Amino acid sequence: MRLQKLFFHTFFFLVFLGFIAGDVKAFQNTDRSDKTVKIGLLIPDNNSQAAKYGAELAIRNANEKGGFNGKPFQLVVRSMEGPWGTGSKQAVNLIFEENVCALMGSPDGRNAHLVEQVTTKARIVFLSAWASDPTLAQAFVPWYFSCVPTDLQQADALIEEIYNKRQFTKIAAVSDNDYDSKMAMESFVKRAKLSGKTTPLQLFYDNKAQDYNDLINQINKAGVRGIILFGKPSASMRIINQLRERKMDQSLFGSLSLLDENEIPGQVMKYYENVALISPGNLSGSKGLAFREEFQKTYGKLPGAVAAYSFDGMNLLIEAIRNAGIDRENIQKALAKIKFEGVTGPIQFDGKGKRMGTPGLMEIKNGVPVTVER
């Protein structure tokens, strides 16, 4: 019954979207006499402030440098919190009511797919600044871009470190039942098989659980040497703590999802001591240090991975607008050929809108992230 209801709502929404966007120019507000240049931002919920802060900082810096042809940039934020499909409705509002010239989002994979459908119909850029679901780029939609490495790219980095460099063969991949987490694990297993590596032991857990003794017993019984965590930070930290309480000595690894600062306390790095994680870029470089200092001065705390990708994503859109103007198609063309040096590293897109390159790894030593040499 729930599946039927879900299908009905999806079908109804897509038909509705097809109606309003069948002739975009007929419904879109084409008045460009606004005193500001609007860029939309979709966040998961009102508690997810990291992406908002990162984007705000980029907007503020751009306006201090004159905005665009004397017009200030304006960030228009909408929360995707609510019943399934709320994010799609908010995207429609930003595009057709607020008349934003580009859209950035920090949602999970499923909601990102819905936003991608909306922006494709409306012919407006959607830049993803957190979702790493590789299927988002498989539709080959020219309006979609992502400044975050996909699960497959993250898998390549982890496989190189775990199988090739450390030469581990017995591995456990651990995930919660969340869509994004399972997609990340599936991507790792797929890449491992294609590389001819030993298929890892695959274990799942309830994200709300507090006791992971059964999970740890399975890991212990399998005699694995390395554990890769795909999941939300809060549960991942509980698993790490319980592994340490039981004096387990396996090497620990984690995907980018473990660094979502919306769900974890400040000074999070101390909880990941000796854990090797996908790196969000060189935040200790000159650009990264300047960003960290300004962010802390403005918001009273250090930025994490979500804020860093949001900062870079918004700067990418600002740069594209400065190069191409506020016409939506020209912004898409400018992004497709952009070369940008951000706080998360160099950013360039392939023909499917994916960020090019393989991400690096960092290992936490004495609470400080240290780059893992390739």
Q: What is the mean pLDDT of residues 155-174?
A: 97
Query: What is the value of pTM for the model shown?
Result: 0.91
Of 76, 71, 75, the residue nearest 59 (C-alpha): 75
**Cβ count within 10 A of residue 230:** 30
Q: Could you give the domains of the chain? A: 2-150+286-347 (3.40.50.2300), 151-280+359-372 (3.40.50.2300)
DSSP codes joined into one string, 174-202 = EEESSHHHHHHHHHHHHHHHHTTPPPPEE
Q: What is the pLDDT of residues 252-296, one digit of tens each?
A: 999 999 999 887 766 677 889 999 999 998 877 889 999 999 999
Across the range 8-13, mean pLDDT stands at 42
Cα 67 to Cα 73: distance, rounded to the nearest angstrom: 6
Instruction: For 302-324, write each residue's pLDDT tens digit.
Output: 899 999 999 999 999 999 999 99
Amino acid at 111: N
Could you tell me if 131 and 109 are in contact, meaning their C-beta atoms sit under 8 angstroms apart? yes
Segment 67-83 shows an average pLDDT of 95
DSSP 356: P
Length of the chain: 374
Query: What six digits make up the tokens of 40?
Result: 């939309």
In whole angstroms, how large is the CA radius of gyration of the chain? 21
pLDDT tens digits for 47-66? Answer: 889 999 999 999 999 999 99
